[in-house]
Structure 1
Amino acid sequence: MRIDIEDLHVDYAGRTVVAGAHLVAAEGEITGLVGPNGSGKSTLLRTVYRHLRPSAGRVLLDGADLRALSPTESARHVAALPQERGGDFELTVREVVAMGRTPYKRAFAGEDDADRDIVARALADVGMDRHSGRRFTALSGGERQRVLLARAFAQDPDVLVLDEPTNHLDIRHQVELLALLRARRRTTLVSLHDLNAAASVCDRLHVLHAGTVVASGPPREVLTPALVAEVFGVRATVVDHPLTGDPLIAFDHQGPAGTGTAGDT
């Protein structure tokens, strides 16, 4: 399924956080949102998984207004991994992941074999199958992140909405998670702080700055030194990654853009 965001405006805490955003997450592609802190990435994603209601504009799921769907129907199509993780579940790892099957169950209905297979596969995908009996509250931040991602996978959605999914993960699990997203080829809308991770995993990027989309396109076309300087305020050059051939953004850590640090020409 495809997500279209049309002229989206979102007001939050008395101010406009997203102003007139237009973007597309094409079917089967990984679409990234990048931008500095406060640019509106998380707010925009919250409208897609219906945590926030836009003040104007629409979010369309294959041409249908997402707000016209019931919460249960919406949850069958869209699964989210938000930055706000909710409470500390007094549940086992497996019980947390099994919550992803809730949109498909009638009240008080138990698990069937299909549910058990889906939950087991989701746990294995994130490398938490050997920890299924542990308490969620006993996990590290990175382990919790992987369990909540497995819960989203267990929801078996058409669209994944992931807000900074690599937060709290060590480098190995970051690489594994991004490889897993690529392998699944599910329609995915993901926000990432790491521009190199975004360049590696995303088919298309939308750059947000001060609540508006200022650039859209394939990573190689979007992540130019001029854009990085303008939007992120740092000097950078873009080269080919020696292992993958993906765009690799090398940052000047001696100072921000425009400060006249050593090496300026």
Structure 2
Amino acid sequence: MRIAIEDLDVALSGRTVVSGVGLVAEDGEIAGLVGPNGSGKSTVLRTVYRHLRPHAGRVLLGGADIRSLTAVQSARQVAALPQERGSDFELSVREIVAMGRTPYKRAFAGEDRTDTERVTAALAQVGMAGAGRRRFSALSGGERQRVLLARALAQDPKVLVLDEPTNHLDVRHQVELLTLLRAQRRTTLLALHDLNAAASVCDRLHVLHDGSVVASGTPREVLTPELLAEVFGVRAAVVEHPLTGDPLIAFDHRAPAGV
């Protein structure tokens, strides 16, 4: 399902934090939002999963304004993994993941065969198949991250919205998560700080700076030494990854871009 964001403005506490943002994620495409801290990435994502209402502009989901959908209709289309994640749930892992099935349930309805299959499959996809009975509150940060991703997958959405999904994950699980996202071929909009991860997993990148989109295109088109210096304030060379052929950014950790 295609996502299109048109002329988006968002103000928080009277201050404009996103202005005139326009970007797209085509059907089955992984589109990444990258930019410095405070550039507006999370704010844009919050409008997609309806946590924030824009001051102006709109978010189109398959051509329909997402605000024209009911909460249930929206939840059946879009699943989110935000940065703000509960850590004190006194529920089991399986109960947390089963919450992803809520948009498909009537009040007080029990778990049916489809729910069971979706929850079991989602836990297996994130490598937590044997953890269903564990308490969510007892998990490590990385394990919680994977369980919350499983909850989003159990929701069986057409669109995934992920805000820094690799946070708290060790290298192996970062690679596994990115591989999983590629294999899904589900329309995905995600914010990432790791530019090399973004170059590896994303079909398209949108670079935000001071609340506006300053560049869009493929990772190879967007991630240039000039843009990295101007937007991120770093010196870097962009070379070809020896294993994958993706753009690989080699940062100069000895000096900032202005030196």
- Whether TM exceeds 0.5 here: the answer is yes
Structure 2 letter corresponding to 1:192: L
The alpha-carbon deviation at position 12 of structure 1 amounts to: 1.1
Structure 2 letter corresponding to 1:140: S
2:82 and 2:92 map into 1 onto residues whose CA distance is 20
The alpha-carbon deviation at position 87 of structure 1 amounts to: 5.2
The alpha-carbon deviation at position 77 of structure 1 amounts to: 0.0
Residue correspondence of structure 1 range 35-184 to structure 2 within 5 A: 35-86=35-86, 88-184=88-184
In the alignment, what sits opposite 1:263?
none
Structure 1 letter corresponding to 2:209: H
Structure 1: state its 5+ residue gaps.
260-265
Answer whether contact 2:34 2:207 (CA < 8 A) is retained: yes
1:232 and 1:114 map into 2 onto residues whose CA distance is 46
Tell me how large the CA RMSD over aligned residues is: 0.6
Structure 2 letter corresponding to 1:248: L
2:32 and 2:160 map into 1 onto residues whose CA distance is 12
Q: C-alpha offsets along residues 125-172 of structure 1, whole Å, 9 cap, x if unaligned? A: 001111110000000000000000000000000000000000000000
Q: C-alpha offsets along residues 1-40 of structure 1, whole Å, 9 cap, x if unaligned? A: 1100000000012211100000001100100000000000
1:224 and 1:126 map into 2 onto residues whose CA distance is 33
The alpha-carbon deviation at position 86 of structure 1 amounts to: 3.0
Secondary structure of the equivalent of 2:134?
coil
Structure 2 letter corresponding to 1:243: L
2:179 and 2:196 map into 1 onto residues whose CA distance is 14
TM-score by length of 1: 0.97
1:5 and 1:112 map into 2 onto residues whose CA distance is 36
Residue correspondence of structure 1 range 223-262 to structure 2 within 5 A: 223-259=223-259
2:14 and 2:180 map into 1 onto residues whose CA distance is 39
User: Identity over aligned residues, as a percent?
Assistant: 79
TM-score by length of 2: 0.99
Q: Which runs of 4+ in 1 moved over 4 A?
A: none
